[in-house]
Amino acid sequence: MKSKSNIEWTDSTWNPVTGCTKISIGCQNCYAERMAYRLKAMKVPAYKNGFDLTIHPENLQAPLKTKKSKMIFVNSMSDLFHKDVPVSFIYQMIDVMREAYWHTFQILTKRSSRLKDLSKDVSWPDNVWVGVTVESNELVHRIDDLKCTNAKTRFLSMEPLLTPMNNLDLSGIDWVIVGGESGPGSRPMEERWVLDIKNQCEKFNAPFFFKQWGGVNKKKAGRLLLNKTWDGIPDTFINAAAV
């Protein structure tokens, strides 16, 4: 498990699976793919297969070895619900997350149909947040799939945000992350799109987190919206932190 993450909305990453394949418009400039090939060139053993999907059972127990409570992004370098990840391995990962109850795990997928199907047989632990990426208006059906799960905390990542998102039904959604695309070939995001989503979040009382404007130099572009940062987070984490 990586001890620290540069992702603004999490503490650490845990990658028992690496590698993926493109499935929708948001995958065009995949940061994980670029990073995987860089790590392969650096001879990092876990990335000897580059961005080909690879299972790493040796990483399964990593969260249990970290006793300090953390927010852990699951499979930042892959997608847990990729068709080539065995169901049995997904169940093993869920068992570890259930056992490591002192951590908060964040699962994010673009493969919402498989998430929906497998969730029929899964009782999600309360410390596991389940989310879907919705990068364009054509993919809002993923929100409906997410709502079919029994996860206590359900969230959306609208990154990279590539189109306006009008008239969203955010009922039953506990958190919304918005961000622009970064890196080479990044596609632009308009401020009015972000503000519209923020307003919809307020309508549904869903915490709003603005991650970044993106661009080739994301640090220079920053993450201020209306001259302030927006770091909304679900009450489930706030309450857990207070215990």
Q: What digits encode the pLDDT tens for the residues 174-203?
A: 999 999 999 999 999 999 999 999 999 999
* pLDDT of 240 above 60: no
Q: Specify whether the CB–CB gap between 161 and 215 falls below 8 A.
A: no
* Among candidate residues 207, 213, 217, 175, the one with its CA nearest the CA of residue 194: 213
Q: Specify whether the CB–CB gap between 38 and 52 falls below 8 A.
A: no
Query: Whole-model pTM?
Result: 0.95
Q: What is the DSSP string of 64-115?
A: GG--S--EEEETTTB-TT-TTS-HHHHHHHHHHHHH-TTSEEEEEES-HHHH
CATH topology of domain 12-242: TIM Barrel (3.20.20)
* pLDDT of 243 above 70: no
Averaged pLDDT score across all residues of the chain: 95
Q: pLDDT > 90: what percent of the chain?
A: 92
Residues forming beta bridges with residue 107, ordered by sequence position: 74, 130
Which of the four pLDDT bands, split at 50, 70 and 90, describes residue 6?
Answer: confident
Q: Specify whether the CB–CB gap between 84 and 54 falls below 8 A.
A: no
Q: What digits encode the pLDDT tens for the residues 91-118?
A: 999 999 999 999 999 999 999 999 999 9
**Rounded mean pLDDT of 19-47?**
97
